[in-house]
């Protein structure tokens, strides 16, 4: 039976200025997500984990920690933007509206620029504008970032899947 190749992400040659990529998946942010990220980042602002405190704020309820907002929105866009590269920098991150626990966020990225890398001829640099948008269409994060992306011919992504060690009858070999 032939092996069918799965999605491998985009390479430098696949990007064009003006392209827009929308995440296929959305991500509902839970109270547990918010509390865990606040703990992980040592963020002691009670607006993220104390409902009583947050109820007395202008927002009336806990705000999702902005570190989780950027992490989720960036992560949702990886398969389309940076699966075959690495981030070089983040610019102009804004949070125009709060994200609340229980809301679902999606990621939309637009290609702003694309150029060859001067120092790495096997790669190029793509600059994106990304927005995190709730299920109600509210923009909760807006940023630009630059990503160093592999050219298809040089990407270290080929033949990564290991061949299984099988017996002659196709069953898994036991032991190392």
| Structure tokens, 119 | 């120092």
Give 1's Cβ-side CA count (13 Å radius): 3
pLDDT score, position 34: 95
pLDDT score, position 38: 92
Is 116 within a domain?
A: yes
Rounded distance, CA 69 to CA 60, Å? 19
pLDDT band at 1 (very low <50, low <70, confident <90, very high): confident
Is 162 within a domain?
A: no
pLDDT score, position 158: 65
Is 90 within a domain?
A: yes
Query: Could you list the residue range(s) of the whole structural domain that residue 98 is in?
Result: 12-152
Is 52 within a domain?
A: yes
Give 19's Cβ-side CA count (13 Å radius): 16
User: What CA dihedral angle connects 69, 74, 76 and 77, to 10 degrees?
Assistant: 150
Inform me whether the pLDDT recorded for 5 exceeds 80.
Answer: no
Give 115's Cβ-side CA count (13 Å radius): 7
Query: What CATH number is associated with residue 57?
Result: 3.10.129.10
Is 165 within a domain?
A: no
pLDDT band at 2 (very low <50, low <70, confident <90, very high): confident
Average pLDDT over residues 65-72: 96
Q: For residue 48, which phi and psi values (nearest 5 degrees)?
A: -95, -20
Q: What is the mean pLDDT of the chain?
A: 94
pLDDT band at 13 (very low <50, low <70, confident <90, very high): very high
Look up the pTM and report it: 0.88
How far are the Cα atoms of 35, 59, 99, 106 from residue 137, in angstroms, in the given order?
25, 19, 12, 9
Is 39 within a domain?
A: yes
Average pLDDT over residues 65-70: 96
Rounded distance, CA 59 to CA 140, Å? 14
* Number of domains comprising the chain: 1
**Lowest-pLDDT range of 19-23, 94-98, 163-167:** 163-167
User: What would the pLDDT profile of 21-30 be if each residue is shown by its tens digit?
Assistant: 999 999 999 9
CB 89 within 8 A of CB 79: no
């Amino acid at each position: 039976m032939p092996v069918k190749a799965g999605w491998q992400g985009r390479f430098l040659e696949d990007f064009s200025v003006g392209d827009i990529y929308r995440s296929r998946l959305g991500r509902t942010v839970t109270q547990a997500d918010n509390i865990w990220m606040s703990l992980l980042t040592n963020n002691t602002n009670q607006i993220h984990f104390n409902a009583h405190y947050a109820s007395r704020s202008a927002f009336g309820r806990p705000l999702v920690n902005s570190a989780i907002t950027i992490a989720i929105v960036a992560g949702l866009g990886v398969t389309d933007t940076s699966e075959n590269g690495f981030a070089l920098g983040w610019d102009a991150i804004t949070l125009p509206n709060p994200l609340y626990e229980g809301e679902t966020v999606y990621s939309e990225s637009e290609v702003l620029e694309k150029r060859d890398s001067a120092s790495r001829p096997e790669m190029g640099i793509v600059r994106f504008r990304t927005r995190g948008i709730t299920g109600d269409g509210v923009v909760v994060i807006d940023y630009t970032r630059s990503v160093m992306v592999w050219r298809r011919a040089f990407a270290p992504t080929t033949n990564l899947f290991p061949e299984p060690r099988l017996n002659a009858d196709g069953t898994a070999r036991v032991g190392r």
